[in-house]
Chain A
């Protein structure tokens, strides 16, 4: 039995994790989801904005991190439009432009007017250089929007001379450019900054929240689910949490089992010597 465990085919483990994730999706359990203080802070910042305020939202995530990050954008944009806040979408990662396009089209179908309620400035190359130009010159960093019209000509951009004219800057990232680049470029400006990151980057971003350089922090699908809880609108992120629980328990079990096997093998080798 012990030897069979030691030599267990990894494909069996793959099949088990697949089943453990699929099962709660087919038959949800509904485990309660708690909300972290950083998500509450993010929610309260958005909730404190006033109707008509203009915010900038940066889609700095790739398709690889999309499932972990896009739920943030979906949940927070819902909050924005519930409160009548207007959104300027931008991205500094090529693939992010497709996520902004998707959300803009979704909200147009729901009656929001392009150019007045929202605008998609599109992808700006250069990573941190692009961010640096956008914060100093939002209408000039990308002269035309994704629909080919001049950014400065749209009503939503009226009065926007630099990033301090936004009520909030939100940026969701899977890597670079991400919170490190945004905090560097926003130094010297007063606009509140709300980062969202893929879960693995969360611990590295916490220092910015704790130092006050970020007004909240959204980390991965878990915090997107928490935001949905605060909005009282459960969505796909909430649906995924049961599967997350099962997967975590399984991986913890494997770590424990793997170490038991390791120490048992060590003891056997010591006994044989």
Chain B
């Protein structure tokens, strides 16, 4: 019961049912498969809650045990944000003014701002780090520059062939490289799936790979 054998076995049985569902057109298998997927959705929803609850646990521990005032203030801010949106969303629904205010005026702008900060680091790296030291990095930089010139409207104004060059890069060498990656990923996905279903890979159960 407390080992990884039983959960692995249950997972394997479910996996076999889903594979049979895919290849055999038997209605009962379709129904069972659909139910299994709904089970997966429900457990995944609990997993979403688990992540947030774990964060609450960690930061409550910080509040109660840490001697660092600054750390405790940051934890308090985090928990205040978490509880305010969670309580308003759960008990007052997502249409409540508080939830809407928190999401529309805090979550959305902050998320967009933090992700947009990456362009500043790209700017800095463009000047300090992107060096054509060897053939590999030269190919990468030249391709990147040609794509940027081809896709921005100003590129076509500078030389009307830049868009065509960018399209060629994307449709041929880029396609070849990414197609190779996709095929390799597909083989890897099949291999990993089989390893999980046969119990060779139990890393998700806390076991050895």
Contacts and interface: CB of A to CB of B under 8 A. Distances in A.
Contacts of A33: 153
Contact of B126 (A14, A62, A67, A251): A251
Q: Chain A contact residues (Cβ within 8 angstroms of B): what range?
A: 35 or more
A133 B41 CA distance: 9
Nearest to A68: B115
A206 B141 CA distance: 20
Given A125-B45, A140-B34, A252-B148, A34 B126 contact: no
A257 B128 CA distance: 9
A34 B165 CA distance: 14
Nearest to A257: B127
A124 B130 CA distance: 41
B201 interface: no
A17 B44 contact: no
A205 to B, nearest CB: 8
B108 A66 contact: yes
Q: Which secondary structure characterizes the binding site on chain B?
A: helix
A42 B46 CA distance: 37
Q: Which secondary structure characterizes the binding site on chain A?
A: helix
A14 B44 contact: no
Interface residues of B, number: 58
B153 A31 contact: yes
Contacts, number: 158
A149 interface: no
B31 to A, nearest CB: 10
Contact of A124 (B41, B107, B182): B41
Contacts of B38: 133, 140-141
B107 A245 contact: no
B34 A36 contact: no
Given A14-B120, A222-B151, A67 B41 contact: no
Contact of A63 (B108, B130, B178): B108
A32 B156 contact: yes
A155 interface: no
